[in-house]
């Protein structure tokens, strides 16, 4: 049985009744069987796990002010202007559609400009808006609607989106979706997926319940035709195959769907906390080399670093053995450049096309007067779950260098 109202086995019906009794002290009058079954399905009808999940979520809602956020939410200008996404249209079942051109987001810039909690509050405000729409549509149509359809447009998504803080922020949103708003997703369509999507999916997948993962559909080729099977043309922006446009004819419907963009640095106000980073001391005229073993081709090495004062050289290289080599003796992945990371933290990512040992190299050989302290976070992301051992080498000798992923149509995970 599906676990939905009207399709319950005798055992599921008994669990529902027990669950209702266990949580009756926190239920509101309008939170009936449809509401309760969402939590039970999310925990495979284990009423104890479902109760804990529900009570934890209610505590979180109180902390986030979710029950009153639609009335008292105070928009933050940079967040409203540079986040991505918006609610527009209904699918053929009557559920609201959320369209997110996530490939256009500058999450790093947002996290430099607002607090993580501000981004989470915006997420709550959006989800509560979806809930209100579902409630209104349910009354209008005379049937229960409590789910949403999402379209993730990943065009433009690349290595710049893979910084640790950006990925961690997105995972926090995914986790909140799963644990605080369970079974709200009807279907998620992923379009314009980039080459690095398998790595992205391997990061996100562990946060999703099997029910949710099965609702994610990656579309390639003629995705517009596939979207129109679920969404009527007059409910879908013209850029995705529908007929909706802004009043000025814009096919992306920017009035309703925020298109993101690069956050101006003058908006920055947040700094990366040093306690979240590892530290390394680089003597004057010296280098610090960190080695990371990559097992899978097309993996990603992402980095973030800053210094207390003064610039530092930074480069990424590859070698095939654990032998200590100079930069000139290794394959150059990212040539060494001096970074003013004492002013603005540096972050980024490089593609690791081939397996091997990738060497992240901080270069202070040009400085004979000052040693440097560097704070850094470096990780290797692979499609397969493998441990990556870091070997840190502090070297005082001087270098003599001058220094498409495509899935089949309608492939569901």
Over residues 28-46, the pLDDT tens digits come to: 988 999 999 999 999 999 9
Does one domain contain both 388 and 333? yes
Nearest to 151 by CA among 224, 194, 101, 91: 101
Cβ-proximal residues to 257 (8 Å cutoff; 6+ apart), any chain: 84, 85, 86, 88, 99, 100, 101, 237
Any domain includes 248: yes
Which range marks the domain in which residue 155 is found?
67-267
In this predicted structure, what is the pLDDT of residue 341? 87
Same domain, 284 and 316: yes
Same-domain check for residues 100 and 118 = yes
**pLDDT 10s digits, 157-169:** 998 888 888 888 9
**Entry pTM:** 0.78
Element (H, E) at 64: helix 47-64
Q: How far apart are CA 368 and CA 285, in angstroms?
A: 5
Sign of the CA dihedral 131, 135, 140, 145?
positive
Q: Which letter does DSSP use for residue 287 in this model?
A: E
- Residue 229: CATH number of its domain: 3.40.525.10
Question: What whole-number distance in Å separates Cα of residue 302 and Cα of residue 378?
Answer: 6
**Below-70 pLDDT ranges, the chain:** 270-276, 384-413
What is the chain's Cα-based Rg?
A: 25
Residue 134 and residue 213 in one domain: yes
Question: Are residues 56 and 97 both part of a single domain?
Answer: no
Question: Which pLDDT belongs to residue 269?
Answer: 79
Identify the pLDDT of residue 396: 40
Residue-level pLDDT at 163? 83
Residues 260 and 211 in one domain: yes
Which of these three, 225, 240, 267, is where a domain ends?
267
Q: End-to-end distance of the chain based on CA atoms, in angstroms? A: 22
Q: What is the pLDDT of residue 399?
A: 42
3-state DSSP assignment of residue 6: coil
Domain count, the chain: 3
Q: Is residue 3 part of a domain?
A: no
């Amino acid at each position: 049985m599906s676990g939905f109202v009207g399709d319950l086995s005798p055992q599921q019906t008994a669990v529902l009744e027990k669950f209702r009794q266990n949580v009756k002290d926190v239920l509101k009058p309008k939170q009936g069987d449809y509401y309760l079954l969402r939590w039970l399905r999310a925990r495979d009808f284990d009423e104890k796990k479902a109760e804990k999940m529900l009570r934890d979520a209610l505590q979180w809602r109180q902390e986030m002010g979710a029950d009153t956020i639609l009335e008292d939410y105070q928009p933050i200008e940079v967040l409203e202007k540079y986040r991505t996404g918006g609610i527009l249209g209904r699918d053929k079942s009557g559920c609201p559609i959320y369209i997110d051109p996530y490939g256009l987001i500058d999450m790093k810039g947002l996290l430099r400009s607002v607090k993580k909690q501000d981004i989470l509050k915006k997420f709550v405000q959006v989800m509560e808006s979806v809930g209100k729409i579902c409630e209104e549509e349910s009354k209008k149509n005379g049937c229960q609607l409590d789910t949403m359809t999402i379209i993730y447009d990943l065009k433009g998504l690349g290595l710049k989106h893979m910084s640790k803080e950006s990925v961690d922020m997105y995972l926090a949103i995914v986790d909140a979706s799963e644990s605080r708003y369970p079974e709200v997703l009807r279907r998620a369509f992923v379009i314009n997926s980039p080459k690095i999507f398998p790595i992205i999916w391997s990061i996100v997948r562990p946060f999703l319940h099997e029910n949710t993962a099965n609702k994610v559909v990656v579309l390639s080729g003629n995705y517009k035709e596939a979207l129109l099977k679920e969404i009527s043309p007059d409910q879908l922006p013209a850029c995705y195959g529908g007929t909706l446009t802004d009043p000025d004819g814009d096919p992306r419907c920017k009035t309703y769907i925020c298109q993101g963009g690069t956050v101006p640095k003058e908006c920055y106000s947040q700094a990366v906390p040093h306690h979240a980073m590892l530290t390394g001391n680089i003597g004057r005229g010296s280098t610090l080399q960190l080695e990371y073993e990559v097992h899978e081709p097309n993996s990603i090495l992402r980095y973030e670093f800053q210094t207390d004062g003064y610039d530092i050289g930074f480069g990424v290289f590859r070698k095939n053995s654990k032998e200590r080599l100079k930069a000139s003796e290794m394959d150059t992945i990212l040539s060494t450049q001096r970074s003013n990371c004492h002013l603005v933290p540096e972050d980024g990512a490089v593609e690791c096309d081939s397996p091997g040992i990738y060497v992240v190299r901080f270069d202070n050989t040009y400085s004979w007067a000052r040693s440097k302290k560097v704070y850094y976070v470096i990780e290797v992301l692979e499609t397969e779950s493998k441990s990556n051992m870091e070997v840190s080498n502090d070297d005082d000798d001087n270098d003599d260098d001058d220094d498409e992923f495509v899935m089949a149509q309608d492939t569901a995970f």
